[in-house]
Amino acid sequence: MLYIVEVSSFGGDLVATMSNMRNWLDAHRSQPVIFRQVTGDGTMFRLEFRSEGEAAAFVGTFGGRLIRPEREAA
């Protein structure tokens, strides 16, 4: 299962935010399965983590929302 994080608030400096995210990921030795920029009404980043703890820590640092996977019916 993957834990999805969506972050869309950057305080106006997209380049600095991207750099801060990359530095955080490196410092925490965290490697999301997917890290991509999504465009639409604004710019958003979508990251997918294998670990809920990593996803929650990322949200705790950068804000955004954590989308937990739905459990499949048995």
The ranges assigned to domains in the chain are 3-67
CA dist 17 and 36 (Å) reads 13
Tell me the mean pLDDT in the region 10-23: 85
pLDDT of residue 23: 97
pLDDT digits (tens, 9 = 90+) for 20-55: 999 999 999 999 999 998 887 778 899 999 999 999
User: Tell me: domain 3-67, CATH 3.40.50, correct?
Assistant: no
pLDDT of residue 1: 87
Q: Which pTM was predicted?
A: 0.85
Q: Is the pLDDT of residue 73 over 60?
A: no
CA dist 26 and 65 (Å) reads 21
Is residue 20 classed as helix, strand or coil in its secondary structure?
Answer: helix
